[in-house]
Amino acid sequence: MKKLNKDSVVYKMSSKNEGVLKINSGEEITIESYDCFKNELKSEKDNLEEFNWDYVNPATGPVYINDAKPGDILKIEIEDIEIANQSVMVLAPGEGLMGDRVKKSVTKIIKIENEMAVFSENIKVPVKPMIGVIGTAPADNEIPTGTPGDHGANMDCKRMTAGNTLYLPVNVEGGLLALGDLHSVMGDGEVAVSGAETEGKVKLKVDVIKNAKLPLPFLESDKKVITIASAKTLDQAVEDATNNMVDYLIENYDFDLEEASLLLSFIGDAKICQVVDPLKTARFELEKKYLKNNI
């Protein structure tokens, strides 16, 4: 299995980036990652006022996948996520949904003990490691790793966990896959500008899919299919994610527009991923078990 250490990072998803490692379709790879602050905030004495914003959201990569051509799809199986023994959270004036009320910067260290994230003596929750930034290069423009879009990147979707499979577009030769911004725990919305940010490493299996059509980015678990969309407003992101799920049902199952729309209102769930990035991200979740008889 090939490995990529965290020193090979990019801060923009771009066709101008050169692949630092080449893999074949179907190959497994382990990718190390800094946290979103490039590991600069190590204690509660460190804060965002001292952080160099030139180093926010480093994404390790990019990885060049042989035979990945524009128009193909990358099938990315997230096999495992290992995290460090502590995470960091931040709060600062002007940042996140509470930025207009917060008067001082706060850094909070979250210790990881026995697979539990320790927020306080009375609040300890199971770790749920996830990937915040994972994406491919867009076709034309350069997009900062902190901005989500149709190419993926900083979606901050808490379903991006081990055992799930992500589908992303190939817009340029090789795809140029990069990832970072791991979390030990994150609530939907990431309302205070960060989750429990952590360094770690991710084990992936990447396949190139030819001649397929999916509403991308698209996420699949053993129980659910999930469409993800990012837009300037949360309203638009929800609308796009919902339309993408309707289109998925029409194109892949025995549904027409009306029946698909009714089904989503009947058993589907529109969810918020994050509301703190330059574009907001929403997802729409639908349980697979209701689709089996409609194939």
Tell whether the model's pLDDT for residue 112 goes beyond 80: yes
d(CA 178, CA 182): 12
pTM above 0.85, yes or no: yes
Alpha carbon 168 to chain centroid, angstroms: 11
Tell whether the model's pLDDT for residue 225 goes beyond 80: yes
* pLDDT computed for residue 294 by the predictor: 52
* pLDDT computed for residue 200 by the predictor: 98
Tallying the residues shown for the chain, one arrives at 295
Question: If we measure between CA atoms, which residue out of 23, 1, 17 comes closest to residue 61?
Answer: 17
Q: Report the percentage of the chain scoring pLDDT > 90.
A: 90
- Within 8 A by CB and 6+ apart from 137, the residues are 13, 14, 15, 17, 62, 151, 171, 172, 175, 176
**Averaged pLDDT of the chain:** 96
Alpha carbon 130 to chain centroid, angstroms: 8
Tell whether the model's pLDDT for residue 295 goes beyond 70: no
d(CA 295, CA 277): 37
Domains and CATH numbers, the chain: 2-209 (2.60.120.580)
